[in-house]
Structure 1
Amino acid sequence: MDLDTLLSDLNDAQRRAVCLEGGRALVLAGAGSGKTRVLTRRAAYLIRFTGLSPFALLAVTFTNKAAGEMRGRISELLGIATSGMWVGTFHGIAHRLLRQHAEQAGLPEGFQILDADDQLRLVKRVLRARGTDENRLPPRQVRGFIAARKEEGVRPEAVVTEGHRYQQELLEIYRDYEESCRRGGLVDFAELLLRADELLAGDEGLLAHYRRRFQHILVDELQDTNAMQYRWLTRLIGEGTGLFAVGDDDQSIYGWRGARVENMDRLCRELAPVEIVRLEQNYRSTATILQAANHLIAHNDKRLGKNLWTSGDQGEPITLYRAFNEVDEARWVIDRINDWIEEEGYQAGDFAILYRSNAQSRAFEEALIAHRLPYRVYGGVRFFERAEVKDALAYLRLVMTRHDDASFERAVVTPPRGVGAKTLDAIRTAARAQNTSLWSAAQQLVAHKQLAARARNAVHAFLELIDDLEQRVAGEPLQHQAEHAISSTGLRHHYERDESRLENLDELVSAARSFAHEGSRAGGAEAHETEPLLDFLTHAALEAGEGQAADWGASVQLMSLHAAKGLEFPVVFLTGLEEGLFPHYLSADDPVRLEEERRLCYVGMTRARTRLCLTCAEVRRIHGRDQEARPSRFLGELPLETLDEVRPSIRIRLR
């Protein structure tokens, strides 16, 4: 392949980036600007036209899929085998280093990697060994604390607790966890990078070797690097190391998991001189969508700066719909999808519904099922299949019938109440022997004192809890029954440190309220033939079991804005644009977090190719209560000339 062929389908800015001579460069690659093409062509250019050995190139990405795609494209461009090249994720490259230098890293040769589930189980064992109450210190929270410290590059001895008792206890657990990992020759994901960095920092000869070996480093998605990734990466860069980093500060949306957008500016300062190349030509969206997105993101102060443009069509205005409530919002969105499929030849897979909170999916799922439109929840679980929702429903099912064994098994251990695996096995054994339900078997074991005292008391307390719950919900409106199943059983307390799960539990109360309202509106004799709670539980079971298509291409796609990054769709509905929801109420008063929320909105808008629809509601049920909603400030930051309000009689005050 000659140089003209390599560059033939690139624009001027892309060609400039690919052909930079040595040194260090930061490529600001806007949404839809062809960054993957530039990265792979850069690798091919370095190998074919500068004489760089394929094994002297280190390319770091964030996902195995991206790494595989890069290897495949380089192989296709150059006609060489790429299996031996150092192309991989941060964790994959770190793992490769540690395997080759396990002894120097203080690891056994056959060290094992813990995945997320294995790590959680190890945390639980550490907590049990310490006699720590999991209700007071949930294992997931402890795992998060440990991972966050490692991603900051901080070992237990370097953690500063300032005498805070709670932090001190977490620190002691961190020490015990590390000791358990050392004894078992175990390495979790965060440890891979931390240990690889410590290996290089502690062995000057080894560091010098790899600096000589990796003459040029390519980095994808620089804006998503955390403190540890940045430290490890820059440690590998020696005086003569070439660097080609690609990123977009306007698409940095993972601050909540440690990503530091400031790493882009920091790299320019610490590794100067760094040449900046901007990729601003967009090959995805219409000019109208880009105009609105540019105008929105310009409200962020701390940007390296760029302005997306397209040589394509102007496109139609962005539709703005203000719904009465979340039910009306879902109805309008699904009606538009249905109409455009029937009248304009769209396929179901052309549509994406994006939302800030996963709890918002419930109303859309119900509307899609009502219209018999197949759908998929991308990167997540359908509403009635989410663990915390199933937990609450299990209690309600036990209220309806004590002999629902599946619900018994779920409710008796969530939240933890002292009924362990051994006790549950004893109940199962008794149920099989007596050919009866788990509930009846548990009653018999308690009555005849056939369990150890501690286990017997725990089971007895659970049986009383269900009986008491039945008394509480008797005669109550359906939404109050759902709230009792969440609050009086301890589920709300159990999930109190997980905002998204709490939002889903609140949405279950809203779902019960909406279901009761629709039932009362239906009227007639049939509306009262069965118990409302039984009807609702049947409704939940049916919705959990249908609607989600097996084929992505044949289904409407529902997803959070975070999950949408890197994807694109002909038509995008960006929903729930209200203050407190988007931007999220936890971010509204924090300038740094507010800028990330604005970047998240920008990412959502730039997923759309030809049509973008924005929605908000006048009233939305949040945390179990109907609340008047104000339009998001982000709507007020869009140019009025790009918007088409489809309900002009109810104007939204955008300014």
Structure 2
Amino acid sequence: MDITSIIEPLNAEQRQAVTAPSQPLLVLAGAGSGKTRVLVHRIAWQIRVEGLSPHSILAVTFTNKAAREMRSRIEELLKIPANAMWIGTFHGLAHRLLRRHAEQARLPPTFQVMDSADQLRVIKRLLSGMNLDEARWPPKQVQWYINAQKDEGVRARHLPDTGDLFARQMIAIYRAYEELCERSGLVDFAELLLRAHELLRDNPEVLAFYRQRFRHVHVDEFQDTNTIQYAWLRLLTEGLDNLFVVGDDDQSIYGWRGAKIENIYSFQKHYPTHQLIKLEQNYRSTGNILKAANEVIAHNDGRLGKELWTESGEGEPISVYAAFNELDEAYFVVERIKAWINEGGLRSDAAILYRSNAQSRQFEEKLVASGIPYRVYGGLRFFDRAEIKNALAYLRLIANRHDDVSFERVVNTPARGIGAKTVDEIRLLARDRSVSLWQAADTMIRQGRISARAGNALAGFMALIERLGEDSEGLELYEKVRKAVETSGLLDLYRKDKAENGEEKVENLEELVNAARLFDYNADNEENLGELELFLAHAALEAGEMQGEDFDDCVQLMTLHSAKGLEFKLVFMVGLEEGLFPSLQSVEDPGRLEEERRLCYVGMTRAMRSLYLTYAESRRLYGRDSYPRPSRFLREIPAECLQEVRMRGTFSRPVAAAPANPKTPAAESRYRLGQRVSHAKFGEGVVLQIEGEGAQERAQINFRNTGTKWLMLAYAQLEVL
């Protein structure tokens, strides 16, 4: 048996993980250490060498993109289709389970999956029906509360009444939300996971079937699992030696959305016969970047512990730039990017990483002014666009008349004379009779409860949906989609829209038809769902995707959280200041501060060749001026890893150490080293360094009361004493 293709590309530790005997296995995979390769080759080894059936493989990832990549690489390595394996996201696989066992899960066969935006619409409608003021009960906060409870496996009936009035009302909202979703056959993303866990927990025969079927369970990014995801995995693998997880406690950065770093530590207690394998050889970054990242993350307590290393050489030092303010910071970064491009570098190989989205504006303005294309990573994706969601709502109503979210979204889109008052009356009747909006609307028409004009408009809308359902019978999926976007009036609506990108919206609707044409109905369809139902579920799951699309050749701007899993030759981590990064909220909370440090570690290890760290000595953010101290993370990097850079020239020294020998000032400068000066805001000080010329001339001044600062001399209005 030729196993060369499976074993040869692996280093010693990767090979140990891939060929390990069946037992609980925790692979601690550092940044850039080839964790996806290990997962893929482990599955290939089990099928090719151990003779396992692909039917017995379950592999869980966190994004659809990662699942597609894993499936593709397995097929390429084994030269067999991967359809028999269950490879997908937690949400995707939970959806698959619920479709197969809807009855045992207490769901209607035609249940619909809501994305986050649709869930928010349901909550807003619910709050209105309960006569609750959104100012006091913000829908986003209610949404977060409900999802957080579900992530912990908690139903409304499980929550105790502590006597707190706020908590009591939130529980009542949660209970009403559960009832509405049950009545309408709606399932949100958090419900997918909770319901799938309850399905296995409460149906021993179902659990026994899947324990027997999935002889080997593989999990990617294990450090990002939440409570209910880990509970689901434990149910499937309890008492078995078949759980293979890959993760990195140093890259656990999603605590704010429910991820539990404790899971990776609890694994060793819950699976006492486990084996721990560390992947520490990095194939991405230079030695200098890795040394700095190792030193920063070493300041966190309780780590499982590992040290990244590379065979690719030490590389250049990390560059640190102290900007006068955020404008100077943006100017410096864009100038370096221009130099990178002029030297032949690709724009798409350069990334600007920031802690807060609010930081991006200055960089965007400077990039536009310089004529450099850029992309803010994480913009609206295809299935998130309003025109696409409208078209999908029509399709959902064709599949399920009792989908309240879709009914409400398009009952008057395009406008057909059904006003907000009519919709409110429909909601009221639906709530009072515990029926769907469709049923309530039908009752109102038959009983003449609304005006003739509104009744005719409403009857016309419902007849349109019925006709679409009848006319779509027997059509190909893409023909159903085309008929829906044409007959609904959406195409005409956007063709007439000359003010708001109507042409682009028409093109998007046409692309939706094309997406339906290319949709692979046979993939992952053991449940034998209809094409339309499967396509709608696919659209909802894609809309919840966390990763963006493939890059064009443009500079990438993104938050540090968004950068996880990516890599770039040139990286700028900006805004390394106390109160910004680490964030102000984390400074007094040891747990949150450690997550901020992990975020810094993730950001640094995105850089392959060149890493710049910048901070501003003054910054206007969120409408306020501040004069922050450099981030503690800068001080945690060894001095020998750093070089401090200026707009003109470079010199090496530790950050925040005593000044090096100053550079000779420009001959025309009116200031000199050692000169005493006064500033209107900072008071008296002494000039330590001068650099630059003309409008770019600036000085480092040690002020008696406020410490050392760099000031642009053209604007500082210093008085010589």
The superposition leaves residues 540-583 of structure 1 with CA deviations (integer Å, 9 ceiling, x where unpaired) of: xxxxxxxxxx9933211100000000000000000000000000
- CA–CA separation in structure 2 for the residues paired with 1:646 and 1:340: 16
Residues 123 and 139, structure 1, Cα contact 8 Å, conserved in 2:
yes
TM-score when scaled to structure 2?
0.66
Equivalent position of 1:621 in the other structure: 620
Query: Which among 653, 656, 669 is matched to residue 653 of structure 1?
Result: 656
Contact 1:351 1:570 in 2 (8 A): yes
Corresponding position of 1:100: 100
1:124 CA displacement: 1.2
Question: What is the CA-CA distance between 1:108 and the residue it aligns to?
Answer: 1.1
Instruction: Single out whichever of 245-254 and 235-244 deviates more from structure 2.
Output: 235-244
Following superposition, the deviation at residue 646 of structure 1 comes to 1.3
Equivalence for 1:151: 151
Match of 1:582 in 2: 581
- Is the Cα contact below 8 Å between 1:575 and 1:615 reproduced in 2? yes
Question: What whole-Å deviation, never above 9, does each CA across 1:297-344 have from its counterpart, x for those lacking one?
Answer: 0000021111000000210000000000000000011111112222x2
- Shift in Å at residue 80 of structure 1? 1.6
3-state SS, counterpart of residue 552 of structure 1? coil
- 1:287 corresponds to: 287
Cα distance per residue 1:15-60 (max 9 Å; x no partner): 0110001111000111101111110000010111112111111111
Q: Give the letter aligned to residue 41 of structure 2.
A: R
| Preserved contact between residue 17 and residue 38 of structure 1 (Cα < 8 Å) | yes
User: Distance between the aligned counterparts of 2:309 and 2:652, measured in 1?
Assistant: 33
1:272 deviation in Å?
Answer: 1.3
- Which residue does the alignment assign to 2:167? 167
Distance 2:332 2:84 in 1: 53
Q: Residue type matched to 1:172 in 2?
A: A
1:642 aligns with 641
Unaligned 5+ segments in structure 1 are 388-419, 425-549
Return the alpha-carbon distance in structure 1 between the equivalents of residues 33 and 293 of structure 2: 14
Larger Rg: 2
Partner of 1:89: 89
Following superposition, the deviation at residue 280 of structure 1 comes to: 0.5
Q: Identify which range, 608-617 or 365-374, moves more after superposition.
A: 365-374
Deviates more, 1:254-263 or 1:265-274: 265-274
Alignment of 1:304-343 (within 5 A): 304-342=304-342
Partner of 1:25: 25
What SS class does the counterpart of residue 294 from structure 2 fall into?
A: helix
Partner Cα separation in structure 2 for residue 28 and residue 64 of structure 1: 23
Check conservation: 1:635, 1:654, Cα contact below 8 A: no
Any idea what the Cα deviations from partners look like across 1:588-627, whole Å, max 9, x if unmatched?
1100000000000000000000000000010011332211
State the distance in 2 between where 1:182 and 1:643 align: 58
| Structure 2 Cα separation of the partners of residues 351 and 61 of structure 1 | 27
Q: Is the 8 A contact 2:359 2:621 kept in 1?
A: no
Aligned residue in 1 for 2:564: 565
Correspondence for 1:123: 123
**What is aligned with 1:60?**
60
- In structure 1, how many angstroms separate the alpha carbons of the residues matched to 2:652 and 2:570? 25
Query: Where do residues 198-347 of structure 1 align in structure 2 (5 Å cutoff)?
Result: 198-342=198-342, 344-347=343-346
Query: 8 Å contact 1:211–1:241 — kept in the other structure?
Result: no
- What residue in structure 1 maps to residue 185 of structure 2? 185
> What residue in structure 2 maps to residue 37 of structure 1?
37
For 1:638 and 1:338, locate their aligned partners in 2 and report how far apart those are by CA, in whole Å.
27
Aligned-pair CA distance for 1:5: 2.6
Cα 1:160–1:643, aligned 2, differ >3 Å: closer, same or farther? farther
Q: Does the CA contact (< 8 Å) of 1:631 and 1:652 recur in 2?
A: no
Contact between 1:281 and 1:310, CA under 8 Å: does it hold in 2?
A: yes
What letter matches 1:626 in structure 2?
A: D
Partner of 1:530: none
AA of the residue aligned to 2:124: K
The 8 Å contact of residues 214 and 241 in structure 1, kept in 2 or not, is answered as no
Secondary structure (helix, strand or coil) at the match of 2:218 reads strand
Q: Distance in 2 between matches of 1:155 and 1:33?
A: 40
The answer for the alignment partner of 1:378 in structure 2 is 377
Q: Deviations over 1:170-213 (max 9, x none)?
A: 11000000000111111111111111111111122221221111
**Structure 1 residues 142, 551: closer, same or farther in 2, change over 3 A?**
closer
Looking at structure 2, the residues matched to 625 and 103 of structure 1 have their Cα atoms a distance apart, in angstroms, of 56
CA distance in 2, matches of 1:11, 1:105: 45
Question: Structure 1: how far apart are the matches of 2:187 and 2:117?
Answer: 13
**8 Å Cα contact 2:575/2:616 also seen in 1:** yes
Distance 1:161 1:361, change over 3 A: farther
Q: Structure 1 stretch 122-131 or stretch 607-616: which is displaced more?
A: 122-131
Q: Distance in 2 between matches of 1:160 and 1:269?
A: 30
Moved more, 103-112 or 32-41: 103-112
Alpha-carbon offset, residue 650 of structure 1? 11
SS at match of 2:561: helix
Residue 289 of structure 2 contacts residue 604 of structure 2 at CA under 8 Å; is this kept in 1? yes
Distance (Å, rounded) in 1 between the aligned partners of 2:256 and 2:612:
27
Is the Cα–Cα contact under 8 Å of residues 323 and 617 in structure 1 kept in the other structure? yes
**What CA distance in whole angstroms lies between the structure 1 residues aligned with 2:652 and 2:74?**
56
Instruction: Return the offset for 1:654.
Output: 5.8
Trace 1:68-79 onto structure 2 (pairs within 5 A). Answer: 68-79=68-79
| Match in the other structure for 1:489 | none
**Within 5 A, what are the aligned runs for 1:425-440?**
none
Give the % identical residues: 60
RMSD: 2.2
How far did 1:293 drift? 0.3
**In structure 1, C-alpha distance between the alignment counterparts of 2:643 and 2:655, rounded to whole Å:** 11
Q: Give 1:599's aligned residue.
A: 598
1:359 corresponds to 2:358:
yes
SS at match of 2:562: helix
Question: Given residue 307 of structure 1, which amino acid in structure 2 is its aligned partner?
Answer: E
For residues 123 and 166 of structure 1, the distance between their equivalents in structure 2, rounded to whole angstroms, comes to: 17
For 1:561 and 1:41, locate their aligned partners in 2 and report how far apart those are by CA, in whole Å. 30
Per the TM alignment, residue 238 of structure 1 is displaced from its structure 2 partner at its CA by: 3.3
Q: 1:371 to 1:124 in 2, by over 3 A?
A: same
| TM-fit CA distance, 1:227 | 0.5
Cα contact 1:217–1:241 (8 A) shared by 2? no
Letter in 2 for 1:616: Y
DSSP-derived class of the 1:564 partner: coil
Q: 1:430 is matched with which residue?
A: none
Contact kept, 8 Å, 2:5 with 2:77, in 1: the verdict is: no
How many matched pairs? 494
State the distance in 2 between where 1:308 and 1:283 align: 10
Cα offset for 1:4? 2.5
Distance in 2 (CA, whole Å) between partners of 1:48 and 1:318 is 44
Q: 1:4 to 1:158 in 2, by over 3 A?
A: same
Change (3 A) 1:209 1:654: farther
CA distance in 2, matches of 1:298, 1:652: 19
- 1-side partners of 2:268 and 2:379: how far apart? 37
CA distance in 1, matches of 2:550, 2:219: 33
Residue aligning to 1:433: none
The answer for the alignment partner of 1:196 in structure 2 is 196
Structure 1 position 161, deviation (Å):
5.1
Q: Which residue of the partner structure matches residue 526 of structure 1?
A: none
- 1:51 aligns with 51
Q: Residue 380 of structure 1 contacts residue 559 of structure 1 at CA under 8 Å; is this kept in 2?
A: no
Secondary structure at the residue paired with 1:602?
helix
- What SS class does the counterpart of residue 196 from structure 1 fall into? helix
Aligned to 1:369: 368
Q: How does 1:420-569 map to 2 (within 5 A)?
A: 421=420, 552-569=551-568
Deviations 1:149-181 (A, max 9, x none): 101100001124522211211110000000001
Aligned mates of 2:629, 2:655 — CA distance in 1: 9
Q: Which amino acid aligns with 2:605?
A: T
